[in-house]
A and B are shown apart, each in its own frame.
Chain A
Amino acid sequence: MSVTHRRYASALGALVLAAAFALLVAQQPLWEHALSAVFPAAANPVYPSVTLAELVVRHLTIVGVSSGLTMLVGIPLGVWVTRPSGADFREIVATAVDFGQTFPPIAVLALMVPILGFGLGPAVVALFLYGLFPVVSNTVAGIEGVPRTLVDAARGMGMGRARILLTLEVLLAARVIMAGVRTSVVINIGTATVAAAVGAGGLGDPIIRGINVQNFAYVLQGATAAALLAIVADTVLAATERLLTPRGLET
């Protein structure tokens, strides 16, 4: 199979998987059957307050907003510290994003509630900080992985700095940057279940409720859906990574 076929095949595969997942979470009765089979004692095997589909949409909203912010801030930040103007801040930025990932998100949630109140706000801040590290470090690695001789050739031919950054460095680093985004998003899908603790909703809701009311069918429901969502997101982002890889670099 040719390289071109492969990149579209993987994109198609990812779309099919995403559609299958969407169909699956929409089948509320199916989950009821499956969970009551696993937990025959449970009177109420499925989380009753909202449908699974609504939980997934809410979860994706939390992850989408926080990961979107992560990319919006992380990629430019990573690029900036590879420029002469930002080179002096490189260590500080590296330490800060490293700290962002080591600091427990649950603690960030707790600290943010007094400032931002309950709900989406603290969840987004916690996940944004938590996911910054892979995006920034991969952006730096990707840009620095572009051979200096290419940049030298580009300058020597009369390309300006902005043009070199946008048409050469970022393009050639796209694959590595996307790999960082992918890691960040997949981690955030799992971590976002914690956000239910501050009332942000999402797939963490049935898990926390399940623990509180000793109904482990709820826990299994939320955890299974979150795990499947992470797999789907990973596949979709891997296909995106492939689509963003410049053709001349494919192997």
Chain B
Amino acid sequence: MIRLVDVTKRYDETLAVDGISLEVPTGEVCVLIGPSGCGKTTTLRMINRLIEPTSGLIEIDGRDIMSASPVELRRHIGYVIQSVGLFPHLTVAENVATVPRLLGWKRERTASRVRDLLSVVGLDPAEYGDKYPRHLSGGQAQRVGVARALAADPPVLLMDEPFGAVDPLTRERLQAAFERIQREMRKTVVFVTHDVDEAIRLADRIALMRAGRLEQYDAPEVILDHPASKFVHDFVGTDRAIKRLGRTRVADVMRADVEATADGTRGIDAAACAGTRFMYIVDDDGVLEGWVDCRVLAAGTPPEEAGTRVDWREAAATPDTTLKDALSRMLGLGFRDLAVVDDDGRLLGEVSLAAIEQTMSAGDVHVSNLPEGEVLGAPVADEGEATT
């Protein structure tokens, strides 16, 4: 557990962080979010003493962080930054081994830990271990950055806009990988971002900051449905119904009972198609290649013309895709159903617009219960316009 009690950081006349108190329970992800200069990164960097607090108390698992040397403290806290900061003169494996080496681990133990971790973050140790950072893509580099932070199995992980510098598709994959790793490892994570969708997707609790103060600290659902102030309400935006879809993954609403054939369009006729909307076409390994629209087929169009060939990377979702991204993809492609594939493109099922709509209406209760212009909770200066 990480505990901050009345933590303040003052630079000359400015208060960068002004009396923050919060607790991050063990195994949970706390996302610090807020406008630029709100003090979120300063707060994060005080936890591993890259910045020394001016006053207040910070504890990790009941121990005051001031009780040990900063160097000792940091070796037991994973640290991931936006620019990754891989050492360019060391190989991927050597980079991941940094903290175990500092801690004096035995060579074999370090080597096997490095192999395990590269696999955990989705990189083949045999292929990537001996590469140098300049041979990696941005997404791969950040995977190595995460592996390096986890190397000595620290109970606490600090992540400073870790996925902020990569393209949206890569960011989505990194977020999915992080969710998967976090489900397994249950670290206590403090995560800084300025991306509301990322916060809603990854957080157990969101700490929304403004001008060095904590505006609200709650689960994403509560932040969405019961904003404590007009500032929180405005910061989250008006599309909260859609944002809520960022909390649910395709895996939770997909159906697996879809029809597929590995025989291309040859094996498809009206009879095979009966009772289903789409007949998916896969290759011998089950990788999605396209589909035939059975209604078009039923209208008398020959199978080879009723079929659509697609690249699964673009026209499908994975189980880890959020409903928000799946919906966005559907709207972009003009589909009412989206194929679901695994990371290698093998067909797993499909997700329908109807299923997403159901999820939306199920949670859609508190959208407009904030009185217009009224201030709830913490005092908020008059700024911006009411959007409800």
A residues apposed to B, CB below 8 Å:
147, 149-150, 152-160, 168, 171-172, 246-249
Give the most central of A152, A154, A156: most B CB within 10 Å.
A156
Residues of A within 8 A of B84 (CB): 149, 153
- A248-B88, A248-B90 known; A158-B71 Cβ under 8 A: yes
A159 lies within 8 A of B50 (CB): no
CB of B130, distance to nearest CB on chain A (Å): 10
Residues of A near B73 (CB, < 8 A) are 158
Q: How far is the CA of A150 from the CA of B81 in the complex (A)?
A: 10
Contact B133 A158 (CB under 8 A): no
Give A70 Cβ to nearest chain B Cβ, in Å.
26
Partner of A247, one of B83, B98, B132: B132
Q: Which of B22-66 contact A (CB under 8 A)?
A: 48, 50
B165, chain A: closest CB distance, angstroms: 11
Interface flag for B163 (CB, 8 Å):
no
Are the C-beta atoms of B79 and A172 separated by less than 8 Å? no
B88 interface neighbour in A154, A158, A172, Cβ under 8 Å: A172
Cβ-defined contact, A248 with B71, below 8 A: no
Q: Could you jot down 18 A-B contacts, CB within 8 Å?
A: A152-B50, A153-B83, A153-B85, A153-B87, A155-B50, A156-B81, A157-B79, A158-B73, A158-B74, A158-B75, A172-B89, A246-B89, A248-B87, A248-B89, A248-B132, A248-B134, A249-B88, A249-B89
Whether, in the assembled complex, B102 has its beta carbon less than 8 Å from a beta carbon of chain A, the answer is: yes
Cβ-defined contact, B85 with A158, below 8 A? no
What is the bound-complex CA distance between A147 and B85, given in angstroms?
Answer: 9
Interface status of B99 (Cβ within 8 A of chain A): yes
Complex CA gap A244/B324 in Å reads 51
Residues of A within 8 A of B72 (CB): 158
Question: Shortest CB–CB separation between residue A149 and chain B, in angstroms?
Answer: 4
Residue in A closest to B148 when the chains form the complex, CB atoms: A157
Q: Provided the pairs A152-B81, A153-B81, A247-B132 are in contact, do residues A159 and B89 lie with their beta carbons within 8 angstroms?
A: no
Q: How far is the CB of A35 from chain B (nearest CB, A)?
A: 49
How far is A155 from B72 in the complex, measured between Cα atoms in Å? 11
Question: Which residue of A157, A160, A249 is within 8 Å of B98 (Cβ)?
Answer: A157
Q: In the assembled complex, how far is the CB of residue B153 from the closest CB belonging to chain A, in whole angstroms?
A: 14
Task: State A247–B98 Cα separation when bound (angstroms).
Answer: 18
Cα A246 to Cα B138 in complex, Å, equals 21
Q: In the complex the two chains form, what is the Cα distance from A149 to B81 in whole Å?
A: 8
* Chain B hits for A156, CB < 8 A: 48, 50, 74, 79, 81, 158
Within 8 A of A (CB), among B148-163: 148-149, 158
Size class of the contact patch on chain B: 20 to 34
Given contacts A152-B50, A247-B132, whether A157 and B88 have CB atoms under 8 Å apart is no
Query: What chain A residues lie within 8 Å of B170 (beta carbons)?
Result: none
B91 CB–A CB distance under 8 Å: yes
Residues A160 and B88 in contact in the complex (CB < 8 Å), given A248-B132, A248-B134: no
CB contacts (< 8 Å) of A159 on chain B: these are 71, 98, 102
Q: In the complex, A247 Cα to B132 Cα: how many Å?
A: 8
Q: Which chain A residues border B88 with CB–CB below 8 Å?
A: 150, 172, 246, 248-249
**A contact residues around B133 at 8 Å (CB):** 248
Q: Do A160 and B71 touch across chains, with their CB atoms under 8 A apart?
A: yes
**What distance in Å separates the Cβ of B78 from its nearest Cβ neighbour in chain A?**
8
Type the 1/0 row for B69-111, where 1 means its CB is closer than 8 Å to any CB of A.
0111111100101011111111100000011001000000000
Decide if A157 touches B83 in the complex (CB within 8 Å).
Answer: no
**CB nearest neighbor in B for A172:** B89
Q: Are B102 and A248 in contact (CB under 8 A)?
A: no
User: Are the C-beta atoms of B50 and A248 separated by less than 8 Å?
Assistant: no
Contacts of B132 in A (CB 8 A): 247-248
User: Could you mark each residue 126-142 of chain B with 1 if its beta carbon is under 8 Å from any beta carbon of chain A, else 0?
Assistant: 00000011100000000
Name B74's closest neighbour in chain A (CB-CB): A158
A residues less than 8 Å from B71 (CB atoms):
158-160
Closest to A146 in B: B88
Contact A158 B81, beta carbon cutoff 8 Å:
no
Contact yes or no, B81 A157, CB < 8 A: no
Given contacts A246-B88, A247-B132, 20 further A-B contacts (CB under 8 A): A147-B83, A149-B83, A149-B85, A152-B81, A153-B84, A153-B87, A156-B48, A156-B74, A157-B74, A157-B79, A157-B98, A157-B148, A157-B149, A158-B72, A158-B99, A158-B102, A159-B98, A248-B133, A249-B88, A249-B89
